[in-house]
Structure 1
Amino acid sequence: MKFEVTILGSSSATPVYNRNPTAQLLNCNEKFYLIDCGEGTQQQLIRYGFKANKIDYIFISHLHGDHYFGLIGLLSSLHLNGRIKPMYIFAPAALEEILALQFKHSETVIRYPIEFVATQTDTPARIFENADLSVDTFVLNHRIPCTGFSFVQKKRLRKLMIEKLESEEIPVEYYPLLKRGVDLDLPDGRVLLNADYTTDSERPRKYCYCSDTLFDEGYLESIKNCDTLYHEATFLHEMLDRANQTHHTTALQAAEVAKITGAVKLLIGHFSSRYKSLQPLLDEARTVFEDTELAIEGITYPI
């Protein structure tokens, strides 16, 4: 099953040449989940060949503008392009008021339902679940209330050994039970041991998104053992005082988080506009956690 994330924006606070404010697009089994929506996100979707109307779920970590200023434009464009299916938005409660005010004063009546779910910014919670994955929040330590998101695949049904089943003329009506791991007694007296006719499905994968935060042990338990960890890395460690002042993380600290929590791979992003070259941030992180990559816009990373 496809499980991958495409970086749409990787800059902090303000856009710079070739770097846009934060946004990511998660693809799980061809269902699309937008994570944060900085200014210009809909243009980035067009640039990288994604259809905005395929997005049904939007997750906003907090209400600093570089994480949601692109949302009103995206929602408005979907309205103008004739969307009728619901859009589900998971975000701090105040965003519902912000959107209502924008639509009120532009005299815009959105033609499709917006289902708004207010996130709890003071305690972890499961906020979404479907047949493909579950989504949990965890509390981050930023200047204003902020949550991260953990996306965990659901365990898939077992895989059938189709050729063996067909060669032994096992009726297809038994296939669903075999996929669920059931041993079967057939009417003709045969006993089908599930392990003889199926194999286990792939291990569910986990993607954790750590938006703006100080290095804080409070969220480490929530992101343990993820396959891919995205963590903000706004500054080099030489600017630790500035990172602490603004409630951000350094590249070195992001790598320490990945190491402590047992991540398989680390993506760093949310880069300060002061850095024209990102290589020093990557080099710094790799001194602690070798399997680190830069979150580069337009690149799709398998999880």
Structure 2
Amino acid sequence: MKLTILGCYAATPRTITNPTSQVLEIKNQMFLIDCGEGTQVQLRKHKIKFSRINHIFISHLHGDHFYGLVGLISTFMLLNRVNDLHVYGPKGIKELILMQLKASGSYTGYNLYFHELESTESEIVFEDEKVIVKTIPLKHRIYTNGYLFKEKNSKRKLNIEAVEKYNIETCYYQKIKSGGDITLEDGTLVSNNLLSFNPEPERSYAFCSDTVYNETILPIIEGVDTLYHESTFLETEAHLADKTMHTTAKQAATIAKKANAKTLVMGHYSTRYGNIELFKEEAQTIFDNIILADDGKEIKL
């Protein structure tokens, strides 16, 4: 499970920083979260394979979170993409993207699906046998969602020494991994806990940007392994956080602490600050385990 930060700064792109975009690799799947300007350049720079991205999650329709999307969709077409592409985002995103494609005479040779969101309650938006994704309703100037990514139950791990000891045939291995007991030829019942080990704990990742300080998200992200939370301002500019409906570093740390998160990743910094270490210093007065996001940083979760 790995997070690659493609961009994590607020508002406008600069020569040295990029707006919000990140790639989450989980259970051998790759999810793109937000798609600010320059996303596809960052994907190339960090050697991330475009073809592995089949699901894109957009938090809201402010430009620094989705202005790179139509360009990426067009590039997929030029690369002769064949896989379906699914885009999840606020209602209106389909009209915005299709209007641009139509006006430029650009049409995809692959299936492009839009999953438009408008609920103010948390809902499941993606699920397969390995991963489940839920929305995290946020409070910003326009309709906004974060996303909670969570692994689904893994199969149990085979205890090779035990299965060899009981001379269990390989055709029963999947049953053991699924939690089943085994009856031997002499009628002896061998309990599953003797034949297998517990699976790895389910890991989870929550993406929260942009939002004011909002404790209503706490039940959704309770106990999350890694929380990415916007921290646009320092406390010295808390009045600007209130005005623009953003969060300070201290407030982000408070959310992490109250949610019992294991790790807090901070980002979406205002470019008014020259030293992002100030965000960590402020947040660590509340919460200890903090990672500062930065463009190009890879974080093993």
Query: Given the two structures, how large is their TM-score scaled by the length of structure 2?
Result: 0.97
Q: Residues 277 and 16 of structure 1: is their aligned pair in 2 closer, same or farther, counting only changes over 3 Å? A: farther
Among residues 254, 271, 274, which one is paired with 1:273 in the alignment?
271
- Counterpart of 1:179, as a letter, is K
* Residue identity opposite 1:100 in structure 2: L
Secondary structure of the residue aligned to 1:5 is strand
> In the aligned structure 1, how far is the partner of 2:188 from the partner of 2:23?
49
Deviation at 1:18, TM superposition (A): 2.1
Kept after mapping to 1: 8 A contact 2:3/2:299: yes
SS of aligned partner of 1:220: helix
Structure 2 equivalent of residue 110 of structure 1 = 108
1:34: how far off?
0.3
Whole-angstrom distance in 1 between the partners of 2:51 and 2:293: 24
Matched, 1:52 2:50: yes
Shift of 1:182: 1.2
Distance 2:101 2:219 in 1: 39
* Structure 2 residue 131 is matched with structure 1 residue 153: no
Q: State how far apart, in whole Å, the 2-side matches of 1:155 and 1:52 are.
A: 28
Kept in 2: contact 1:121–1:147 (CA 8 A): no
Correspondences of 1:11-160 after superposition (within 5 Å): 11-160=9-158
Q: Matched residue pairs, number?
A: 301
- The equivalent residue for 1:202 is 200
Deviation at 1:296, TM superposition (A): 1.5
Where does residue 191 of structure 1 map in the other structure?
A: 189
The whole-number CA distance in structure 2 between the counterparts of 1:120 and 1:30 is: 29
The root-mean-square deviation of aligned C-alpha atoms, in Å, is 1.1
SS at the partner of 2:133? strand
- The amino acid of 2:6's aligned partner reads L
How much has 1:284 moved relative to structure 2? 0.5
CA deviations 1:10-30 (Å, max 9, x no partner) are 110112342100001000122
Q: Take 2:138 and 2:146, find their aligned partners in 1: how far apart are those partners?
A: 6
3-state DSSP class of the match of 2:143? coil
For 1:225 and 1:255, how far apart are their aligned partners in 2?
Answer: 14
- Deviations along 1:158-216, one digit per CA (max 9) or x if unpaired, are 00012332343211111111111111223342322111110001110110010100001
Residue number among 252, 256, 259 corresponding to 1:258 in the alignment: 256
Once the two structures are TM-superposed, the CA of residue 82 in structure 1 deviates from its matched residue by 0.5
User: Which amino acid in structure 2 is aligned with residue 219 of structure 1?
Assistant: I
State the 1:258 CA deviation: 0.4
Q: Are 2:36 and 2:66, in contact at CA under 8 Å, matched by a contact in 1?
A: yes
Offset, 1:218: 1.6
Alpha-carbon distance in structure 1 between the residues aligned to 2:191 and 2:167: 15
Other-structure match for 1:219: 217
Gaps of 5+ in 2: none
State the identity %: 40
Q: How many angstroms apart in 1 are the aligned matches of 2:3 and 2:17?
A: 17
Amino acid corresponding to residue 199 of structure 1 in structure 2: F
Question: Counterpart amino acid of 1:113?
Answer: N
Deviation by residue 1:246-292 (Cα, 9 ceiling, x = unmatched): 00000010000001110000000001011121111111011111111
- Give the Cα–Cα distance (whole angstroms) in 2 for the partners of residues 168 and 138 of structure 1: 48
Structure-2 separation of matches of 1:192 and 1:68: 55
Aligned amino acid, residue 247 of structure 1: M
Amino acid at match of 2:196: T
Q: Match of 1:245, as an amino acid?
A: K
Please say if residues 234 and 272 of structure 1, whose CA atoms lie closer than 8 Å, have aligned partners that are also in contact: yes
Shift in Å at residue 93 of structure 1? Answer: 1.6
Post-superposition Cα deviations, 1:71-92, rounded to whole Å, max 9, x if no partner, equal 1111110100010110011111
CA distance in 1 between counterparts of 2:296 and 2:119 reads 30
Aligned-pair CA distance for 1:131: 1.5
Range that drifts further, 270-279 or 55-64 = 270-279
Distance in 1 of aligned mates of 2:51 and 2:194: 43
Aligned partners of 1:21 and 1:67 also within 8 Å: yes
